[in-house]
Structure 1
Amino acid sequence: MGSSSPLHFLNSTPLLSSPISPAHSSISSPGREIERLAKARSKLLESENQQTPRIPPETREQHRYVSKDGKCRVNLGHIDERGRFLSDIFTSFVDLQYRWFLFVFMMCYITTWFLFAGLYYINASIRGDLVQERPLGTNQNKYGEQYACYVGIDGFISALLFSVETQRTIGYGSRTVSASCQEGVLLVMLQCIVGSMIDALMVGCMFVKISRPKKRAETLLFSRTCVIANRDDQLCLMFRIGDLRESHMVDAKVRAKLIKSRQTAEGEFLPLEQTEIDLGYETGSDRLFLVEPQVIKHNIDVNSPLWNLGPEQLRRQQFEIIVILEGIVEATGMMCQAKTSYIETEIEWGARFEPCMTLEKGSFRVDLRRFHSTYKVPLPNCSASQAHQLM
């Protein structure tokens, strides 16, 4: 028995006729213990897989330099010289979010109201012009002197009301300042000047904030994907741009950048190198008359950064194409800029955009339902450089 294996022991246990004690069973059944541990391990692995699901590499979302809606995903940290923002206080106010913008100006008004109310109250208290120390309706202070400095101020609340009435030019008539009070007249003049400056700053900031041209970019459309196909026997990268408004962009221009990481010959790593993508700068085709949706093309020639990239290389590479559309808003005359980006998985090889403009009753009609639609066309699965060598 001493040389018997666990498997031989398990095979011989059914022949026993006497019951086995629990203690003896736990010692003499190592096979069941191994099976129990294996089941526990499998359950543990299943629970771990449920808590942390594994995502295939092809379905992972790539970090974008510029999002599809044009927002740059770059966060500046460890800014030591915060005082630079105060040197351009107007732009700092305009860049604030609306809740902080309204909060700052509310605090400006409230602060000036309380500040001048305190000055009025202190001045009236020093001169003895508080109403509780003289008969109501008279213009005498507690010493019986005529022409008190402030009329109708009996405490800080009435001084606060007088401050609000002065700055907002309400003037209910129950609280006034006497002409014989030089310091009171100077305070009123100073508060009127400060109030006018705050009003001018708020109106200017509010107008600029409401009419900011980046809101105009919300009505500019970019196609969801880029396509690569032949046009006039030339391999081209193409995307579509459109405008939803009837007021058109003035002097509209489009340009594109290729963002890609690379390592130099000296071993320096460049994380976000920007390479210009020519959209027809020399020929003037980058200047648009954006009345209807237009397909913008980039000729993939020997000077193009996509010259050596075929369909397989596009899937293996990691890069981002940023498209920038600039123009002047016709209504306001302000410069507007709209941006979007395309990563390698958003480039369709061998495809073209469906036509979305037709002629109906003497005018052109644009069907925006086809703006993002594409259709397949035959195209060899080789890069532009390989196709050039085969010619």
Structure 2
Amino acid sequence: MRKLNLKIKEENDSGFSAVASGRFTNKDGRYNVKKKGINIFDKYSWYHTFLLLPRFKFIGVLVIAYIIANLVFASIYYAIGIEHLTGIDKSSPIQEFIDVFFFSAQTFTTVGYGRIAPVGALASFVATFEAFLGLLGFAIATGLFYGRFSRPRAFLKFSDIAVIAPFEDGKALMFRVAPFKNNLLSEAEVTISAAIEELVEGKLESKFYLLEPKLKKINTFSLNWTIVHKINSNSPFYEYTEEDFKNADIELIIMIKAFDEVFANTVVQRTSYISSEIIYGAKFLPMYHSSEDQKTTVLDLDKINFHQKVSIDN
């Protein structure tokens, strides 16, 4: 393991452990931590879980929960007996269960078309309880939809790779990020931490270093931002060669904080890069250009990873 320049100050407040396993931060910005020793009801914030679910998974969970709830109540009505529901004609068991299922759906949603109605105290009690659960369930679902819709987010797209490219009279570590929605971001600020695995007293431990970007803050964030960390004597990567970058266990932990002018709130997004995602001897290609009428700047977000190989003098 390569010994780092002793002039570099270690970061002691990274919040991560020196002996943690795997990457510290996943590509989607979530911390790579699995918590045990607590029951499932205290372990998860269900509100946060549903807010952070991908869109199709969120909708899928709601649809599946709705179908399961109606299947359960349909089974209860069917067990009570279809003679306690008016409007259902005796036919095949499958057709009878289908009619009961749609009666349950109408009760759950409080639509109540009127063709089928409960008869007797037991069926009426079940229908009353189901209607109550339906109102409660749709209120929760509506709140979750609103929470997902109104939650401030940065909507930033990071490059999948970082590069080591020629810069000024030496070289620099670079990655880039761009806003991909029509939100208005300003006062964007970046923080870069590097976790480098070192051999300490015969044990491998991760040492954390705060990397100084060439430009830490920008006033407006409308185009892509190529974030540059110059590799000089103040960098933990000083005198690193291509082989060093390949063989070292490195993770770059990125956090970008910006102000969303529409929500009037601060938004944060994270990501990380590990050694296999750092390309030595490459530079990013331009990803924006002028429109044909020369009146608008066009940002090609599908080019955020475009790069070309270049030579670096070590």
Please classify the TM superposition score into its range, dividing by the shorter chain length.
Answer: 0.5 to 0.7
Which residue pairs with 1:222 in the alignment?
159
Match of 1:198 among 109, 134, 137: 137
Q: Superposition RMSD on alpha carbons, in Å? A: 4.8
Give the number of aligned pairs. 280
Normalised by the length of structure 1, the TM-score is 0.52
Q: For 1:199, give the aligned amino acid.
A: F
Matched, 1:173 2:130: no
Change (3 A) 1:328 1:192: farther
> Is the CA contact (8 Å cut-off) linking 2:179 and 2:222 kept in structure 1?
yes
Tell me the SS of whatever aligns to 2:221. coil
Matches within 5 A, 1:90-129: 90-94=47-51, 97=57, 99-100=60-61, 102-115=63-76, 117=77, 121=80
Larger Rg: 1
2:264 equivalent to 1:307: no
Counterpart of 1:108, as a letter, is: A
Q: Which amino acid aligns with 1:294?
A: W
Whichever residue aligns with residue 192 of structure 1, its letter is: A
Indicate the structure whose relative CO is greater, using CA pairs within 8 Å and at least 6 residues apart. Answer: 2
**Greater share of residues in helix:** 1
Q: Quick one: which of 327, 341, 346 aligns to 2:273?
A: 341
2:222 match: 291
Report the CA distance between 1:359 and its aligned residue. 5.5
Inter-partner Cα distance in structure 2 for 1:334 and 1:251: 10
**Which deviates the most, 182-191 or 250-259?**
182-191
After superposition, give the CA deviation of every residue in 1:164-184 in whole Å (9 maximum; x if it has no partner): 433323333344568xx8887
The counterpart of 1:238, out of the listed 156, 174, 194, is 174
**2:67 partner amino acid:** M
Hey, what does 1:42 align to over in structure 2?
Answer: none
What is the alpha-carbon distance in structure 1 between the residues aligned to residue 102 and residue 223 of structure 2?
58
- Residues 23-55 of structure 1: CA distance to partner in whole angstroms, max 9, x if unpaired? xxxxxxxxxxxxxxxxxxxxxxxxxxxxxxxxx
Mind listing any 5+ residue stretches in structure 2 that lack a counterpart? 1-20, 91-95
Aligned residue number for residue 307 of structure 2: 373
Q: 1:211 to 1:103 in 2, by over 3 A?
A: farther
Greater per-residue strand proportion: 2
Partner residue of 2:15?
A: none
Q: What whole-Å deviation, never above 9, does each CA across 1:251-274 have from its counterpart, x for those lacking one?
A: 543322212212335x5432x444
TM-superposition CA deviations, 1:359-385 (whole Å, max 9, x none): 5635445566586334747x642xxxx
SS in 1 for 2:176: strand
Provide the residue aligned with 1:51 in structure 2. Answer: none
Selected match of 1:269 from 183, 204, 214: 204
Identity across matched positions, percent: 16
TM-score (norm 2): 0.62
Q: Quick one: structure 1 residues 239 and 88, their matched pair in 2 at CA, closer, same or farther if it must change by over 3 Å?
A: closer
